[in-house]
Amino acid sequence: MGVTHTHRELRELRERARTLIREHLAAHPTTSFTAFELGRVLALGTTSARRSLAHLEAEKLVDVIRQPDPTNGYRVSTRYRFTGQDQGPRLPPGHHS
């Protein structure tokens, strides 16, 4: 059987993944990464990386680059790059510092 987590634990894991990805992209602002590459470097699953990147895209913290990749038979590759507009960790709605 798999591991079960509470809603709070899942939320914390997702926020941790977003923070790891945001920090990694900010540390390499001129480099673009695929979700797979980020997952591998940060020891996250590809699905977790994709979900986190979707949230960061919605927050306008990453640029999304979709273009044919010659190393992958010209299939469209989706890459992500930091926009440079990071304001640090976000508080959930209704929470104040």
What tens-digit pLDDT sequence spans the chain (97 residues)?
567 878 898 899 899 999 999 999 999 999 999 999 999 999 999 999 999 999 999 999 999 999 888 877 878 889 999 997 655 555 444 444 3
Alpha-carbon gap, residue 64 to 34, rounded angstroms = 10
The tokens for 27 are 């540390």
| Backbone angles phi and psi of 69, in degrees to 5 | -110, 110
Alpha-carbon gap, residue 38 to 46, rounded angstroms = 8
Domain boundaries 9-82, CATH class:
mainly alpha
pTM comes to: 0.75
Alpha-carbon gap, residue 51 to 97, rounded angstroms = 26
Alpha helices in 1-97 (DSSP H): 7-27, 35-42, 46-58
The answer to whether the beta carbons of residues 60 and 85 sit under 8 Å apart is yes
Alpha-carbon gap, residue 25 to 80, rounded angstroms = 8
